[in-house]
Amino acid sequence: MRAEAAYDELIRRVREEGLLVSIEALLEWDEETHMPRGGVQNRSEQLALLAGLVHERGTDPRIGDLLLAVEGSELAADTESAAAINVRELRREYDRYVRLPRTLVEDVARTTALAQQAWAEARSAAEFAGFRPWLERIVELKRAEAECVGYAAEPYDALIEDYEPELSSAVMARLYDALRRELVPLAARMAGASRRPDPSVLRRAVPVEGQRHFGETVAAAVGFDFRRGRMDLGVHPCCTGLGPGDCRIAVRFEARDFAGGLLTILHEVGHGLYEQGLDPKQYGTPAGEAASVGMDESQARLWENHVARSRGFWQHFYPRARALFPEALDDVSLDEFHFALNRVSPSLIRVHADEVTYNLHAAIRFELERALVSGTLRVADVPEAWRAAYRTTLGVAPANDAEGCLQDGHWADGLIGYFPTYTLGDVFAAQLSARAEQELGSLEEQFARGEFLELVRWLRERVHRRGGRYPSVKLIEVVTGSPPDHRPLVRRLKEKYGLLYGLSG
């Protein structure tokens, strides 16, 4: 088989598989935003059928033959060419996929579909007992998955790699240790600071329709392209790429959480800008996809934390917000608003956590998951281990399992090994924004002038357009000159919060 012909067929097949995946994404987006309740049974049948079709295509031995015909050929010689990137990444995906028996894949799909219902009920009842057998089964299935896929040091490695290629449990453990050493004392210093924000200013009622309008205006101002995307209401905020030119953001609003709603929008817009910045010519192939889940998360966290929690951003937007929502904001100064938005306070729920304690939540989850998968922690002991870890790390303890180990649906979804991507997102975001500042000058000053597109352009060129050219750990080095490094994140948090809270030295 000639390499060129093999490559063409490979890409044709991969794009077709990608089309099916983009159809799945639309079905999930629709379920999240529009589907009436009565549609749930048929929707699960539709999704199961598509998952089967994707598996059938992804494990076709023909793909292995085609890869063999291209690998080592002239076509893949330039390692930075689209062809070489695609062959490298498709080989990685194929080797992983064919090791997973279809029965296991189906079992995971079926179990996690049902586990979500069980989790939602257990959380309502604030009782881990109802979810325990499901989590036991899921941990068992994910361990089986790890055994099928194979790993260097421990089974949890195989699960992490599904989201972040070339990353290991040991590397993440060192990263979390370093962050714990820095962030636990930093949070403690703020708890003892005399200067304190007033969080009640963010709990004033702001009309939901107005929030939506303001959010869309901000999203457009920072570069989200509404001709190639849209924003809808959804129960769980998310950003879904449905193909080049069709990126959908789902967000939610609460009258008494204007700031939280806007941070969520900027988070999802961050994902959306990455999606809209990918090379449409490479759509459906790894060269036209995000480098990794963690790199994707870095874009979200950059726009949420480095932009929407910055003073410069609000210098520009606060007068507009105040004009729109005078009843809520008229007697709140920019500084009060900005300080409240950046309040640091140890809490129980990750999704509401501040920038400083956020990664301590992720550290706890990482350690619990790793122990579960290695077998040193039994599922039955999770609630107690959770409480103990929160007490030790954050100094708070959940009153019940709904506030504790049942707080989110990741485990019910089978997302074990996923949490490290949240932390990598923060680490990468800090490295990227530090580098962007070196090249572009003060970002805060640009934001204060309402200038966001220079940063978008920079991210587009350095990160988005490169798609999957490098694994994330390599991409961050190419862009910033350093491998993954927690220090820019820690430096930034110390500086920012030292100033806000008036901490000395």
147 is catalytic: no
| Cβ at position 109, least distance to a copy of itself in Å | 13
Taking the least distance from each CB to a copy of itself, the nearer of 36 and 192 is 36
376 binds a copy of itself per the rule CB under 8 A: no
- From residue 260, how far is each of 158, 253, 254, 353, 481 by CA, in Å? 35, 8, 8, 11, 34
Structure-block tokens of residue 412: 């019910």
Strand order, beta sheet including 247-251: 229-233, 247-251, 238-241
Q: Which of 268, 275, 289, 369 is catalytic?
A: 268
**With contact defined as beta carbons under 8 Å apart, do 487 and 302 qualify?**
no
Residues 6+ apart with CB under 8 A from 29: 238, 240, 242, 248, 250
Residues contacting a copy of itself: total by CB under 8 A: 37
Among 36, 185, 192, 505, binds a copy of itself (CB under 8 A): 36
Stretch of residues binding a copy of itself (CB under 8 A), selected from 43-51, 68-76, 152-160, 302-310? 43-51
Question: Shortest Cβ distance from residue 39 to a copy of itself (Å)?
Answer: 3
Distance CA 470, CA 422 (A): 19
- Work out whether 208 is an interface residue with a copy of itself (CB under 8 A): no
| C-alpha span between 118 and 123 (Å, rounded) | 9
At closest approach, how far in Å is the CB of 220 from a copy of itself? 13
Residue with tokens 């939610």: 252
Q: Are 225 and 272 in contact (CB under 8 A)?
A: no
Between CA 5 and CA 253, with CA 24 as vertex, the angle to 5 degrees is 135
Residue 19 sits in the site that holds a copy of itself (CB under 8 A): yes
Q: Which of 30, 107, 437, 444 binds a copy of itself (CB under 8 A)?
A: 30
**The one among 4, 23, 55, 207 contacting a copy of itself by CB under 8 A:** 23
Residue partners of 454: CB distance under 8 A and separation at least 6: 440, 446
How many C-beta atoms lie closer than 10 Å to residue 52's C-beta? 14
Binding mask 279-308 for a copy of itself (x = CB under 8 A): ----x-------------------------
Q: Does 227 bind a copy of itself (CB under 8 A)?
A: yes
Tell me how far apart the alpha carbons of residues 350 and 407 are, in angstroms, rounded to a whole number.
9
CB of 16 to a copy of itself, least distance (A): 6
Amino acid identity of 446?
A: Q
Binders in 229-268 for a copy of itself, by CB under 8 A: 229-230, 232, 242-246, 248
Query: Contact between 439 and a copy of itself (CB under 8 A)?
Result: no
CA distances to 119, 133, 287, 361, 381 from 122, in Å: 5, 11, 42, 21, 16
Residue 35 interacts with a copy of itself (CB under 8 A): yes or no: yes
Q: Which of 34, 102, 256, 378 binds a copy of itself (CB under 8 A)?
A: 34
Strands (E), 387-500: none
Among 60, 93, 166, 225, binds a copy of itself (CB under 8 A): 225
Cβ closer to a copy of itself: 27 or 173? 27
Residues serving a catalytic function are 268
Site residues, a copy of itself (CB under 8 A): 16, 19-20, 22-23, 26-27, 30, 34-43, 45-46, 49-50, 53, 225-230, 232, 242-246, 248, 283
